[in-house]
Structure 1
Amino acid sequence: MLQTHKYHINITITGTCIKQPFTISYMLKFICMLNASKEGSVENAYISLTEEERQH
């Protein structure tokens, strides 16, 4: 039982490490969108976000 739990934790950690760069980029985009919304241009930020997503 403990063995499988340990294995699951390892998979979770590995998955998190792999996803880390994506998560950071999403966080940066989100921060940019927040900053843009303060200036009332959240629609422009959202459009640029979706365009960048299509490229990947």
Structure 2
Amino acid sequence: MIAGSTATRWSAFGRAKPDRIAAAVTKVLDDPAYRSAAAKVGDSFREAGGASTAADHLEALLG
């Protein structure tokens, strides 16, 4: 899962102003910890079967 991982940043919708979004994007792009965490999330997605498996599960849910 992505939620709760260190690969994400969270901001309340009502507080999402351009300067805050820019600061968050800059933080994510400049901090190597985010790249590392995102790589781990990507690895877990691939280990679970990747995009095609996710699509198969979604299609099964939709009937």
TM range (shorter): 0.3 to 0.5
Relative to its length, the structure with more helix (as a share) is 1
Output the TM-score relative to the length of structure 2. 0.35
Q: Relative contact order, CA 8 A, sep 6+: which one is greater?
A: 2
TM (normalized to structure 1)? 0.38
